[in-house]
Amino acid sequence: MVAFAAGIVVLAATAAVSNLTLLKPAPEVHFTALSGEAFSTSELRGKVVLVNFWATYCASCVQEMPKIVDTYKKFAPRGYDTIAVAVRHDNPHRVAQFAASRALPFKVALDSSGALAKEFGNVRITPTSFLIDKRGRVLRRYVGEPNWAELHELVERALSS
């Protein structure tokens, strides 16, 4: 019985660690930015990218957005990008107003059908973010607001590799 319990603990710890460093390919999806620009995850290769699923009605999302902007401004000159994906239930007009009023410096896309959230592993909680490396691999999934110091350290390492 003790060996079984120890095995469960080891399995849980392994699952927790694997969630920290996923290193699986990001899904091949097609985004459409508010500007009308269409692009895919494969076109982002060569950059370190944060894909952030959010909503204008999500208080945590609105609260973290200035930190996402600051992170973008800090790392963009070195090959970092951000895509803010407004989830299916958000109002496109409100998303456009939010992006304009906050002068978001990165691409904002709409997931009108929910297909993007589904491809990224059935994202159901906002905010949820994925950090993708230059080779198109998911380095980390964040549910809720990230630990910003940890995220910045991971971005630094990914940009340097």
Q: Any idea which fold 22-160 has?
A: Glutaredoxin (3.40.30)
One-letter amino acid identity for 86?
A: A
Q: Tell me which of 121 and 15 has the higher pLDDT.
A: 121
DSSP string, 58-110: -HHHHHHHHHHHHHHHHHGGGTEEEEEEE-TTS-HHHHHHHHHHTT--SEEEE
Pairing label, strands 128-132, 48-54: antiparallel
* Sign of the CA dihedral with 60 first, then 32, 73, and 41 last: positive
41-79 confidence digits (pLDDT tens)? 999 999 999 999 999 999 999 999 999 999 999 999 999
**8 Cβ contact list (under 8 Å, min separation 6):** none
Quickly tell me which residue has 């107003």 as its tokens: 97
DSSP 43: G
96-154 confidence digits (pLDDT tens)? 999 999 999 999 999 999 999 999 999 999 999 999 999 999 999 999 999 999 999 99
Residue 22 pLDDT class (50, 70, 90 cuts) = low
As a whole number of Å, the end-to-end CA separation of the chain is 45
